[in-house]
């Protein structure tokens, strides 16, 4: 199952109500006055989608090789076209991980799945996509520790400078924010990115044994 049967409008009924432009601007101002930054506003706005995506991947037992193959396949459905869309946009320090994912699947004898069709990305919304992709690198470090010895893990293995890269991304993200409208666009893109990975998880969960 390649995930292409899912539409981008799926899960839309679970999205939280959006504020008016005036309310959003007030929220941003209030949070900034408390020492909060645009990144934390985005984190709060996407918390439910983040948690729902983590829940969708919860059935995958990474100590089970079949589950691990399915986990990587789910990511390989969503990742390539998202990465292609944001290449050259947003944070200039960003780099793709799909080649590592493809290497792991090849080492496990699994063909690459057909990628999902990605939503359109602009120079603004690229920041929302990259927020999710960069955050997933942090989660990958935890997941990598769960894998049995000898399991191919290039995709989940952390870069030596991962912590510094995350801080650099966050600083660039906050500098790029131009206000409430910018955050609205970025929030929508981050939510769509979480949902893309969730569609992959749902598709592959059906194949778990």
Q: What is the pLDDT of residues 181-206, one digit of tens each?
A: 999 999 999 999 999 999 999 999 98
Mean pLDDT for the stretch of residues 120-126 = 97
143-190 pLDDT per residue, tens = 999 999 999 999 999 888 888 889 999 999 999 999 999 999 999 999
Domains and CATH numbers, the chain: 39-205 (1.20.910.10)
Q: What is the pLDDT of residue 37?
A: 87
Residues 63-72: pLDDT tens digits?
Answer: 999 999 999 9
pLDDT digits (tens, 9 = 90+) for 75-92: 999 999 999 999 999 999
| Pick from 22, 46, 9: nearest CA to 128 | 46
The pLDDT of 128-132, averaged and rounded, is 97
Give the model's pLDDT for residue 10: 35
pLDDT over threshold 90, residue 22: no
């Amino acid at each position: 199952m390649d995930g292409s049967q899912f539409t981008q409008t799926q899960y839309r009924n679970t999205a939280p109500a959006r504020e008016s432009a005036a309310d959003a601007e007030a929220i941003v101002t209030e949070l900034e006055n408390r020492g909060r930054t645009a990144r934390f506003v985005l984190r709060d706005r996407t918390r439910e989608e983040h948690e729902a995506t983590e829940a969708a991947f919860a059935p995958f037992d990474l100590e089970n090789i079949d589950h691990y193959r399915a986990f990587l396949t789910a990511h390989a459905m969503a990742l390539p076209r998202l990465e292609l869309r944001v290449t050259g946009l947003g944070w200039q320090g960003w780099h793709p991980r799909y080649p590592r994912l493809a290497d792991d699947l090849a080492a496990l004898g699994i063909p690459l799945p057909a990628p999902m069709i990605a939503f359109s990305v602009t120079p603004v919304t690229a920041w929302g996509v990259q927020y999710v992709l960069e955050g997933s690198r942090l989660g990958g470090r935890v997941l990598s520790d769960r894998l049995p010895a000898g399991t191919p893990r290039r995709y989940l293995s952390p870069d030596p400078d991962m912590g510094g890269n995350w801080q650099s991304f966050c600083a660039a993200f906050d500098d790029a924010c131009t206000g409430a409208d910018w955050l609205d666009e970025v929030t929508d893109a981050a939510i769509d990115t979480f949902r893309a990975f969730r569609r992959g998880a749902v598709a592959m969960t059906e194949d778990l044994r």
